[in-house]
Structure 1
Amino acid sequence: MKLKIGISNLQPGWEIILQQEGVSFEEISLDDPISINDYSVLIINKSISNLQHEHLNSYMENGGSAIINSKSLIEIEKLKLRSKKVKYCIPSKDSIFADLDLIDFYTRFHWLKSEEIQYMDSNLKIQYQKIGKGFLLILPFDVNSLILNAEFIRKKFWVDRPELPSEIVAKVSKGKIRQIISRCLQFLHNKRNIPMIQLWKYPNNWQNLFMFRVDTDFCSAEEAGALYKLCKKHKIRGTWFVDTASQETLQQVYCKMPDQKIALHCRRHLVFPDYETNKENIENGLSDLRNEGLSATGFAAPFGEWNGNLAKVLEEESFQYSSEFSLNYDDLPFNPAIDNRFTSVLQIPIHPISLGRLNRSHFSEEEMWDYYKVHIEDCIKKGNPIFLYHHPSHGKLQIIEKIFKLINKKKINILTYQEYADWWKKRNDQKIELDYSNNKLSCEMDKIPEDIFLRISKNDKYAMIEIEKEINLNDLKWQKSEKTGLKPNLGRIRKWHWRDALYDYESRKGRKNK
């Protein structure tokens, strides 16, 4: 049988998730019957006719699995629907989503009222129903609109202390919604007793990846030089997003760091709503770099702010990647959708809390170190990327040095943004056909790359392996997926506090004075 996801409407939000997850997928039609041997899971994300519904039911009755949006289902089934607005949700503590912690949705949930339908997670309102030999999983929210949401708000981030750090970031928790879909796909593959196959998210069989980003706005040559010296000491190859306003710093520091990667931050430390002013600011910054013999293929916007006009400028100026946490954070790379198409500029999300934000929330140096240590350990356990950033003007290099030492102690692999962007684009270009029979996997590709591995998961265990034409699953070294529990008292991170208004005021004031 083929291990491929079939999707009825390849919307950009769904395509982003499926590419991030590295699964094989294609758009399908339900106008004709579908064999359970042609697709491991179906995703139904649009309205379907009575005939298409018959074909879907036949697929599931014969043992197939499918995901459907609740609103698409009720148009056919005529079931009763419940609905409510949901700002955020904390998964049920005993569900497969528990360790995702608090998830921001800011949308309306629609779920079904039927004794035949059970809850996979009663808090998230994700339901499932056994149909014949197969399973139907029912989502209460529209995945496409959530992933394409470009709104941003101030959010607080969990830590075990009274005052919480905050930053203006993407309104919707897109990375966690991606992980919800990933776990739903895994659940349905398990129900069919077949493996889920993914192109791995890091080069080779690396379990984690560390990338260090430096935003140099308003820092002196001395501050930049001190951080560079620390990077050299600990063999950290960082990516420096340069504020080009100071010719002195360009000449004295950034021109003299061959082991680091230079990218552009800004000439003026602002992002503008219009195309023309963004273009002028970026072209001025690129000109400043060229005058010193430097170039940049990467960009990180001031304040982490992203909009469609900025995205168009970045594409026209041939940038290869950018990183803005107002669009997404704590997630895998993706190409944003603008004007009903994907931009060519790869977005690389980052963890948005810097030492400056911790300092503003009155963290002691010990608490700052504890925050990053907990974050790094959590990323290691979950296999999530460790992408951190720092402003040299904020000092606190003793904390940065502790981070570097921990990364090296844990033997976490390190890449620059350009290196990871190049690798990720190569990963996205891979087209793989997978056939599964008698616990053996056949892989068909035009050319098998050496540094792209497969993650094979089945029944809560997984194995990492190089891509080969034939793989016997009986020969693999299986590992148990590590689980972590819910953090305590998560709801308080979305409770309004008077400091939220103060920090929003400071943010608006800072943008006016640049």
Structure 2
Amino acid sequence: MNSDRRVDRRVVRVGLMGEHPGWEQLLNQIGAPWSFVDPDQFGSKEESSESQSLSQSPSFSLLIIPLLLDAVQMQTALQWIDKNVGIIDCTGQFQDQMPVQSFVRSIKPNQFDAPFSLPMPAYVYDTCLTLRHGATGKGILRVQDHRPVAFFGWDPMHLFYDPDMTWRRFHHSSLPTTAERVARRPSYPLMMLVLQLLVEMHHRVGLPFAHFWWHPDKDRTPFTFRIDTDYGSEKQLTELYEVFREFEVPATWFMHTGVLKDLQFLSDFKDQEIAFHCEDHRQFRTTDGFRLDMVRGLKRLNKTLGRPVQGYAAPYGGWSDALHEVLDDEEHPDTFRFQYSSEFGYDYDGFPSEPLYTNTLQIPVHPISFGTLRRFGYQEDSMKEYIREWVDVKGLLHLPLHLYVHPSDIQPGQLREVLEMLSSEPLQAMTMSDYASMWRKRTNLASQCWFSLENNNLKCTGDIKWPVAVYPIDPDHSTSADGPPQRFFFSESNAKGSFPMDTLSQPKPHKHFEVRDLEWLNRRSDNNTLSWFRFRKYQYLSWLWRNKE
């Protein structure tokens, strides 16, 4: 490596070779500064001459290469490696051994070697390219010792295009284990693995890594409260609304319109968001079923509100090819074009993404509702304790807090106790449409900006008003076995968007992602109180309920 070579100005920006929706979504979730690299131009005379002019300042700090290169492109890539540009090789063409195809179901936290670590299993369920020697994570990940080249053998395309769902257990450190039918591949563990890889590869070329933080306020977590109004009456909804109004919490109400003769009372729900759930609460299996239900329900709801709703959540949280097609319906954009949708059958407990070939943002929520807790034996006090611990988990993982409930699951007094408990937490309450708008703003910001390191100042190309997370190089622990490298934030910047590296500040000590946290999360996951028989029984009863019509 040439990491000791002095460079006056170096760019911190990821280049993605060609279009690849899976990698694009992961980079957007991370908030990494990135842009495309045209494969047709890479290695051409025009590109080569540009590379020559950028010999002291390459235009990227890291290239992700998910496709096979020809001889000229390979020669150019090797030249970029000599210029201290890192490579993430997704095909094995930069390796000294031939990768083999292997089916990987999941990767447990103890199957990763330092500097990589995850707080939960990574569910892959895919055929990956794996290396037999020198790799970690069941062979899908390897960082070479002698040059800044990494191997990553899992194709993230299926992560954002998978209609298959599975049953999964959800644990508490001391209370009963619950279960729910959710997405087969949650995106968060693999996104965190890629983030750690980006950090490690930047450190290998002598650079810090910077990305836009997941929240607009680094000290407060975005918080939404989602109410799916399944079979809820006007009286039930109004009573719950009064509690939200009392605590000034802007909730998001996904309306089951078919059970309400008159929707006019919704006009009294001030500072709340009204979204659409269904007209008929059924598990739709065809595009025609979804379309007909949306047409019937949205006609009444939009007329009552005087505007189209922005959000949608399918009955039972299900995700399917049929729903995917409806949300991407170009023939009826005025009827079916939502700003966001939220199905835990697509993703859960993670950050937003867009399903392939749609513009509808998916907002993952925690799939365990108050009703699920009640079915697994939780009482009011234990329900509150479940939420309390989940707030801690979210804080440790730096995830937003998206709670989910039905009117029949919770009484106004119990809701009041939960909101009172949450009022002491560093949370920023908002509606789900506000959260979607906030996330799109962040994504646009990351696509328009990139960073450069110059005279120990990290500079941004644009005018940013968003927290920037930085992983500086620690000469003594850049590849430590003590867990992920330390994350810092810029405490101030000058008018030109320049951040002195000596003004880095730590986040509030409330929730650090450290070894002791990983150990606590692992112990929490090991606390399984749900027997195989009860697990299967709940699956069967849930199937009967979803297929009752």
TM-score by length of 1: 0.88
2:477 maps to: none
Amino acid at match of 1:146: L
Give the counterpart of 2:120 among 80, 101, 107.
Answer: 101
Q: Equivalent of 1:422, from 437, 443, 451?
A: 437
Task: Name the CA shift for 1:62/1:443 in 2 (closer, same or farther; >3 Å).
Answer: closer
1:278 aligns with 2:290: yes
Q: Give 1:279 deviation, angstroms.
A: 1.1
**Residue pair 2:290, 2:326 contacting (<8 A) in 1 also:** yes
- Native 8 Å contact 1:242 1:266 kept in 2: yes
Match for 1:454: what amino acid? V
In structure 1, what is the Cα distance between the partners aligned to 2:220 and 2:271? Answer: 24
The superposition leaves residues 353-390 of structure 1 with CA deviations (integer Å, 9 ceiling, x where unpaired) of 11111112222333322221111012123321111111
**1:471 equivalenced with 2:488 (yes/no):** no
Contact 2:318 2:343 in 1 (8 A): yes
Instruction: Give the direction of change, closer, same or farther, for the CA distance of 1:124–1:244 in structure 2 (3 Å limit).
Output: farther
Return the offset for 1:491. Answer: 6.6
Name the structure 2 match of 1:15.
24
Pairs within 5 Å for 1:6-45 = 6-28=15-37, 29=39, 30-31=42-43, 37-45=58-66
Aligned-partner Cα distance in 2 for 1:96–1:368: 37
Counterpart pick for 2:271 among 259, 262, 279: 259
Q: CA deviation at 1:420?
A: 1.6
CA distance in 2 between counterparts of 1:503 and 1:166 reads 8
CA distance in 2, matches of 1:107, 1:143: 10
Q: Who is 2:394 aligned against?
A: 379
Q: CA deviation at 1:229?
A: 1.9
Question: What secondary structure, in the 3-state scheme, does the structure 2 residue paired with 1:485 have?
Answer: helix
Question: Residues 263 and 436 (structure 1 numbering): CA distance in 2 closer, same or farther, change over 3 Å?
Answer: same
- Whether the 8 Å CA contact 1:193–1:458 is kept in 2: the answer is no
Using the TM superposition, give the Cα deviation of residue 449 of structure 1 relative to its aligned residue in structure 2, in angstroms.
5.7
Relative distance call for 1:53 and 1:399 in structure 2 (3 A) is: farther
Q: What is the distance in 1 between the residues matched to 2:459 and 2:71? A: 36
CA distance in 1, matches of 2:73, 2:414: 58
Instruction: Tell me the residue number matched to 1:213.
Output: 226
Whether the 8 Å contact between 1:206 and 1:413 is mirrored in structure 2 is no
Alignment partner, residue 287 of structure 1: 299
1:90 matched to 2:88? The reply is no
Change (3 A) 1:21 1:67: same
Does the CA-based 8 Å contact 1:322-1:348 persist in structure 2?
A: yes
- Note if contact 1:156-1:494 (Cα within 8 Å) is conserved in structure 2: no
Displacement after TM superposition at 1:223 (Å): 2.2
Deviation at 1:329, TM superposition (A): 0.8
User: Are 1:454 and 1:465, in contact at CA under 8 Å, matched by a contact in 2?
Assistant: no
Say if 1:496 and 1:7 are closer, same or farther in 2 by CA, change over 3 A. farther
Pairing partner for 1:482 from 494, 513, 520:
513
Q: Equivalents in 1 of 2:33, 2:459: separation in Å?
A: 13
Partner in structure 1 of residue 425 of structure 2: 410
Pairing partner for 1:268 from 280, 285, 292:
280
Q: In structure 1, what is the Cα distance between the partners aligned to 2:531 and 2:25?
A: 32
Q: Partner of 2:472 in structure 1?
A: 458
Q: Kindly indicate whether the alpha-carbon contact (under 8 Å) linking 1:275 and 1:309 is maintained by their aligned counterparts in 2.
A: yes
Query: Offset of 1:163 from its aligned partner?
Result: 4.7
Paired residues for 1:356-367 under 5 Å? 356-367=371-382
Aligned partners of 1:89 and 1:124 also within 8 Å: no
Q: 1:210, 1:385 within 8 Å by CA — same for their partners in 2? A: yes
Structure 1 residue 62: Cα displacement:
4.0
C-alpha distance after superposition, 1:434-458 (max 9, x if no partner): 322221233223xx364x3333332
Which residue matches 2:478? none
CA separation in 2, counterparts of 1:95 and 1:222? 55
Matched, 1:67 2:98: no
Per-residue deviation, 1:139: 1.8
* Whole-Å separation in 2 of the counterparts to 1:188 and 1:495: 41
Name the CA distance, whole Å, in 1 between partners of 2:233 and 2:528: 35
Alignment of 1:75-86 (within 5 A): 75=93, 77=95, 79-81=97-99, 84-86=102-104
- Of residues 195-204 and 215-224 in structure 1, the stretch that sits farther from structure 2 once superposed is 195-204
User: Is the partner of 1:263 in helix, strand or coil?
Assistant: strand
Partner of 2:534: 499
For residue 214 of structure 1, give the secondary structure of its aligned residue in structure 2: strand
Check the 8 A contact 2:449/2:460 in 1, yes or no.
yes
Question: How much does 1:222 deviate?
Answer: 2.7
Partner of 2:181: 168
AA partner of residue 120 (structure 2): D
Cα–Cα, structure 1 residues 319 and 82, in superposed 2: closer, same or farther, change >3 Å?
closer
- SS for the counterpart of 1:48 is coil
1:129-170: per-residue Cα shift (whole Å, max 9, x none)? 123xx3222223222233332321111112235852111111
| Residue of structure 1 in register with 2:236 after alignment | 223
Using the alignment, how far apart are the partners of 1:449 and 1:76 within structure 2?
36
Which residue identity lines up with residue 275 of structure 1 in the other structure?
T
Tell me the residue number matched to 1:510: 545
Q: Partner of 2:483 in structure 1?
A: none
**1:200 counterpart residue number:** 213
Contact 2:492 2:503 in 1 (8 A): no
For these two proteins, the number of residue pairs brought into alignment is 497
* Cα deviations by residue, 1:446-475 (Å, 9 ceiling, x for unpaired): xx364x333333232311457752413235
Separation in 1, partners of 2:531, 2:100: 28
C-alpha distance in structure 1 between counterparts of 2:84 and 2:470, whole Å: 21
Mapped partners of 1:422, 1:76: distance in 2: 40
The separation in 2 between residues aligned to 1:238 and 1:12, in whole angstroms, is 32
Write out aligned runs for 1:288-367 (5 A): 288-293=300-305, 295=307, 296-314=309-327, 316=333, 317=335, 318-337=337-356, 341=357, 343-367=358-382
Q: 2: CA distance between counterparts of 1:77 and 1:474?
A: 35
Instruction: Give structure 2 stretches of 5+ with no counterpart.
Output: 1-9, 474-485
Distance in 1, matches of 2:83 and 2:442, equals 34
Q: 1:6–1:26: 8 Å Cα contact kept in structure 2?
A: yes
- Tell me whether 1:52 sits opposite 2:73 in the alignment: yes
Contact kept? 2:105, 2:124, Cα under 8 Å: yes
The 1:380–1:403 alpha-carbon spacing in structure 2 relative to 1, beyond 3 Å, is: farther
> What CA distance in whole angstroms lies between the structure 1 residues aligned with 2:350 and 2:122?
13
In structure 1, C-alpha distance between the alignment counterparts of 2:143 and 2:101, rounded to whole Å: 17
Does residue 1:246 correspond to 2:259, yes or no?
yes
Counterpart AA for 1:352: P
